[in-house]
Amino acid sequence: MRAFLIDETDDLRCEVVDGAPPSRSSSEVLVAVTWSGVNFKDAMAAEAHSRVRRTPRLIGGVDAAGVVVASDDPSLAPGTPVAVHGGGLGVSRDGGFAEQVVAPREWISVLPDGVSPHDAMVVGTAGLAAMASVLALEDRGPLDGEVLVTGASGGVGSLAVTLLAARGHRPVASTGSPDARDWLIARGATRVIGREEISDRPERVLGTPRWAGAVDCVGGATLAGVLRSLAYGAAVAASGLVAGPELSTTVYPFITRGVALVGVDVVEAPTAVRERLWHELALTLPSVDITPLIERTIALEELPAALDAVRKGIVRGRILVDPAAH
Ligand SMILES: NC(=O)c1ccc[n+]([C@@H]2O[C@H](COP(=O)([O-])OP(=O)(O)OC[C@H]3O[C@@H](n4cnc5c(N)ncnc54)[C@H](OP(=O)(O)O)[C@@H]3O)[C@@H](O)[C@H]2O)c1
């Protein structure tokens, strides 16, 4: 079986290997991978002294999609289309950058009608985080005004812009990639702003209240800027840390504007949450052309360059991995 191995037993090596197919226990599911996708976390897992990888040697890939090959669960008959993601996939045990993957039942989502394994990897873990962010905002009440999306040209950001627009909201895309402007407008952004325009009045504790909601996958100073510029009662759904894990803010946005900071996680999310996300995606995706969200499709051999591009923040949308391609 061909797979992308990350090996830091000594010096870090990342390379395609041809090894034995994986074996499974009775509580696990064997999946033939037809598609995988490249996520920011994959780039972190393939770094030397990685903060997220919990073992020196494993097959990378935090998500994958394909069909069930073998399972003891009657709801997962051979041929069932599934997505595999979350838990320790690609960080503490072998992941989806391979022709086959074995995972515990809890990490498997049966794909709803209308969502193919290819669609599922265009969405990927990034898209699930985007969907979870949108639902976190919608669950609080009507989004009456502009909804900010940070890191808009990346995986989570571009899916969030797409999903917000498809669900009738008014996404404003914040990006550090001026070249992505027209592409983001085509994805449904009502307007595109620079990273520095998220927040104003730096000399005061609070900026102008602007955003009826926000989807943030950037963290750090960006998230702090979002918090001080939310409209009264608005929320920001925070899922990521590409600009850093620290958050330096004040309590003023919370105690004078009643804003909320809502954490988003899809990695450890229970089955019921995952099912709701896929259900909502199945309802929303038919009205969207997701093909332009694919930046490119690559073979396993091209992963080092793709992971480097993700690390540099120069990927527009999603990179898909075809493990059968040479
Ligand atoms: N909580 C969860 O369950 C969950 C699930 C999936 C992903 N995540 C997290 O979400 C984050 C984004 O993941 P992704 O796969 O969407 O990554 P990605 O495709 O690399 O996108 C990140 C985007 O952030 C912007 N950016 C990059 N570096 C930046 C910096 N230093 N300052 C400000 N903006 C910067 C860039 O967009 P622009 O050029 O357009 O600004 C970039 O495209 C990661 O931290 C990931 O771990 C969390």
Q: Which tens digits make up the pLDDT trace of 194-239?
A: 999 999 999 999 999 999 999 999 999 999 999 999 999 999 999 9
Give distance in angstroms: CA of 22 to centre of ligand 1.
Answer: 31
Average pLDDT of 136-164? 96
When pLDDT is cut at 50, 70 and 90, the band that residue 326 belongs to is: confident
Give burial (CB, 10 Å; 0-12/13-18/19+) of 150. Answer: buried
Q: Which residues line ligand 1 (CB under 6 A)?
A: 39-41, 125-126, 129, 151-157, 175-177, 180, 195, 217-218, 222, 239-243, 264-267, 310, 313, 315
Residue 38: which of 304, 324, 272 has the closest Cα?
304
Give burial (CB, 10 Å; 0-12/13-18/19+) of 326. Answer: exposed
pLDDT in tens, 110-148: 999 999 999 999 999 999 999 999 999 999 999 999 999
Give distance in angstroms: CA of 24 to centre of ligand 1.
Answer: 33
Give the per-residue pLDDT at 198. Answer: 97
Give distance in angstroms: CA of 126 to centre of ligand 1.
Answer: 9
Is the pLDDT score of 271 beyond 90?
A: no
Cα torsion angle, 13, 36, 130, 105, sign: negative
Q: How many CB atoms lie within 10 A of CB 20?
A: 6
When pLDDT is cut at 50, 70 and 90, the band that residue 297 belongs to is: very high
Q: What DSSP string runs through 5-29?
A: EEE-SSS-EEEEEE-PPP---TTEE
Alpha carbon 41 to its chain's center:
9
Give the per-residue pLDDT at 75. Answer: 94
Tell me how far apart the alpha carbons of residues 291 and 304 are, in angstroms, rounded to a whole number: 23
Domains of the chain (ranges, CATH numbers): 2-110+291-321 (3.90.180.10), 125-263 (3.40.50.720)
Give the per-residue pLDDT at 195. Answer: 97
Give distance in angstroms: CA of 39 to centre of ligand 1.
Answer: 9
What's the pTM? 0.95
Q: Which helix (H) or strand (E) covers residue 137, if one does?
A: helix 117-138
When pLDDT is cut at 50, 70 and 90, the band that residue 301 belongs to is: very high
Whole-number percent of the chain with pLDDT over 70: 100
